[in-house]
Structure 1
């Protein structure tokens, strides 16, 4: 793999000579304002800049090169022994994997490694160094007031993929860190934004390197008597059960979900439970849900990215939940009536046999 055609990026803390060839391409992508960098076998290294894909000339990769990149960036924790041989054996059988990668002092990336046509490929999303301030989202005063008095409850941040959910959650962590004296735990598939301890004591844990699963992280947060919990990417019934357990036990909990609107978010939450337990879940949500907060990323023709946030407090969400409760109660009543009808329509067969 040759060096970037654009040459090394403008130096920040590190010197170009200290960077590997791979790192030079990654940093060059950032210098070109890329938000995602793609490395596929049979294709040039490609930067996503706004709505455009920019291909780096003369960088067509082959399967051997993508394997070499994987060996270079694969974290040690995924193998028992951090040797090249052990990593190669792991990569020969892996189908997909999410992890983070850093260019020391310059950039961090959220990596999705996957297979296509039997070979390894990568999508590396750039994680910005700077966390947006909460004030930059132009949120209503009642949201900021609600953050001042956090005492338990579930807060759901939802939106489409690449919609700014993780950055918004990080902004809330930073706001709390600057204004409140709390114990905070952040659980993520891959750590994206780094938080330093300020007024809060912030624990950040990543699946694989720090814990085996989100469920384990929640269990341990409960044992540690944490005050506030952040869970990025709530996407399984098992994780939701643990989240609900934490909320019922009084822990303020923020979660991110990849659902586009309020209706689909409520539907997804209910879908985490079997139908015969959804009515109980609606009642739990009406008690504990504090707000749904939607995020949406827009990109203007010049490639500028803006995240729009909408705040839906509990009194608005509860109207949707009330409708769902009525719907579930009607279904339950209909099933009960059918069961009673089936019972009453059963006839003693001996009656027909008698003369």
Structure 2
């Protein structure tokens, strides 16, 4: 039996330390936003925080379609309608089909599991709504590969064009243990639909997205390895845990070796401390020889030799 602790309190952006660029993504008027990650990666929690931010900082009607409902949002500046599969509606198809009749501004789909759900998600974005959904995948690249593979070959060209026009962001995350042992921190990969990204998606060149992310950090994008590097530099996660979660261990190691101030200080600290101890020890030796007795530490006099003083730098 596996038990998971589920909290009903909706966390804030600041609580989860989500990247600020996601606030802008959440408040966008229309488009498709997909949060991806493995089971237990915290994507539903991050999505709840994003919906709550929209609820507090915008106006309109938010509809959530989930199985089951994980977080209950109270009406703030928005009217929030929760629809649970099997309770409020018979199935996913009926819920998705009737959603637009309720005049929503934001539509949350708990999970995209098949082609039909994906078609509705794209259609919602095309018709001027903000659609937010989750998908099981390990990265933004893998998420797009999985979406493409939902559809037969003859429909993929149209799908790629629709995604290039309507996709706003793909947010992927993994949870990494904190160095202090108190909980975990989310390492977040962010793909934003810039003109370059849109062109790559339109051409079906998904393999080129990671390179585009790594070179567009000033635009708010970042890869997993960059996110892990930042968490390591901030002292949030350990070097070992960061490597375990890196997409490319060799690239992460090289980045740390060339650019990490934390690693440089950790590697240099023993040498620096030893030098300081030697200098301090020399000064103490000169001073103690004049007016203070020497301090002994674990010394044993030999049977036929006088005691030998061991000077410490303390």
Smaller-chain TM-score bracket: 0.5 to 0.7
Whole-Å separation in 1 of the counterparts to 2:24 and 2:183: 30
Q: CA deviation at 1:300?
A: 4.3
Determine if contact 2:31/2:131 at 8 Å carries over to the other structure. yes
- Contact kept in structure 2, 1:246 and 1:253, CA below 8 Å: yes
**Is this contact kept in 2: 1:163–1:296, CA < 8 A?**
yes
Unaligned runs of 5+ in 2: 208-314
User: Per the alignment, do residues 279 and 252 of structure 1 end up closer, same or farther by CA in structure 2, a change over 3 Å counting?
Assistant: same
Normalising by the residue count of structure 1, what TM-score does the alignment of the two structures yield? 0.54
* Counterpart in the other structure of 1:324: 204
How many Å separate the matches in 2 of 1:308 and 1:296? 5
Residue segments in structure 1 that go unaligned for 5+ positions in a row: 1-37, 39-122, 328-355
CA offsets 1:121-150 (integer angstroms, 9 cap, x no match): xx44221122221133444444323433x2
Is the Cα contact below 8 Å between 1:279 and 1:325 reproduced in 2?
Answer: no
The correspondence of residues 24-35 of structure 1 with structure 2, limited to 5 A, is none
The answer on whether the counterparts of 2:145 and 2:206 sit within 8 Å (CA) in structure 1 is: no
2:154 to 265, 269, 276: 276
CA deviations over 1:42-94 (Å, ceiling 9, x no partner):
xxxxxxxxxxxxxxxxxxxxxxxxxxxxxxxxxxxxxxxxxxxxxxxxxxxxx
Total equivalences in the alignment: 205
Q: Residue by residue, what CA displacement relative to the aligned partner does 1:282-311 show, whole Å, maximum 9, x if unpaired?
A: 011000000111121123473622223232
* Structure with more strand by fraction: 1
2:115–2:150 Cα contact (<8 Å) kept: yes
Q: Distance in 1 between matches of 2:60 and 2:136?
A: 27
Residues 255-294 of structure 1 aligned to structure 2 (within 5 Å) = 255-294=133-172
Q: Deviations over 1:89-140 (max 9, x none)?
A: xxxxxxxxxxxxxxxxxxxxxxxxxxxxxxxxxx442211222211334444
Task: Tell whether 2:166 aligns with 1:252.
Answer: no
Query: C-alpha distance in 1, partners of 2:109/2:201?
Result: 23
Are the structure 2 counterparts of residues 309 and 136 from structure 1 closer, same or farther at C-alpha, using a change threshold of 3 Å? farther
Residue of structure 2 equivalent to 1:233: 111
Distance in 2 between the 1:137 and 1:310 partners?
Answer: 15
208-217 or 225-234: bigger deviation:
208-217
Instruction: Show the 5 A alignment for 1:327-346.
Output: none
Q: What does the per-residue CA deviation read over 1:253-288, in whole Å, with 9 as the maximum and x for residues that have no partner?
A: 001001001111111111121111101110110000
Q: Output the CA distance in 1 between the equivalents of 2:171 and 2:155.
A: 25
**TM-score (normalised: structure 2):** 0.61
Relative distance call for 1:292 and 1:286 in structure 2 (3 A) is: same
Query: In angstroms, what is the RMSD of aligned CA positions?
Result: 2.1
Distance verdict in 2 for CA 1:286–1:304, change over 3 Å: same
